[in-house]
Amino acid sequence: MKTLAYWRKNYLFGVARPAALISDGTTLTCLDNALATVFSGPLSSVTVKKGLGIFTVSVDGERVAFLTPSGGSTAPEPSAALLEYLRQTSESPSAAGVAVSAAGGVGAVVGGVAGTALDAVAGAADQVFATANYIKGTKALGAFFTSIGAFAPRDV
């Protein structure tokens, strides 16, 4: 199983970076944009706790990463190598972490609105879609962790 997520080392600070989460049924591995290992461990030693849409991953009781389904405005885009790696097993990477913009659709709907008013409407629509995608991505990432049995007992 593979899925796209965003990782960072610190809960509050630092830029979230694209990553591939991979489980072969015995281990969980996280690869960064350059396909270098961020962390890896046997599933028996991996626990994941969820709080406010952020997943805390520990290996042998040591926190190794904080994961989210999207990276926010400061996150780099997933590299072509990372996306290709994710596509190798499935037709497309998980929807988790893939940003969707609705600005074009909003422009067609409110074609008579000009200048900053259009920007404000597009910005509000983008925020609604970003929030919806974050929630959808959080559920998908939660389903991934559930399927590999990595959730801490209280989070199941």
Domain ranges of the chain: 2-155
d(CA 141, CA 53): 10
The pLDDT tens digits of the residues spanning 52-61 come to: 889 999 999 9
Instruction: State yes or no: pLDDT of 124 exceeds 90.
Output: no
3-state secondary structure 57-100: EEECCEEEEEEECCCCCCCCCCCHHHHHHHHCCCCCCCCCCCCC
Instruction: State yes or no: pLDDT of 149 exceeds 50.
Output: yes
Highest-pLDDT range among 16-25, 84-93, 121-130 = 16-25
CA 90 to chain centre: 17
The pLDDT tens digits of the residues spanning 22-44 come to: 999 999 999 999 999 999 999 99
Find the mean pLDDT for residues 54-83.
93
Find the mean pLDDT for residues 148-156.
74
The pLDDT tens digits of the residues spanning 79-115 come to: 999 999 999 864 433 333 333 222 222 323 333 344 4
d(CA 45, CA 38): 16
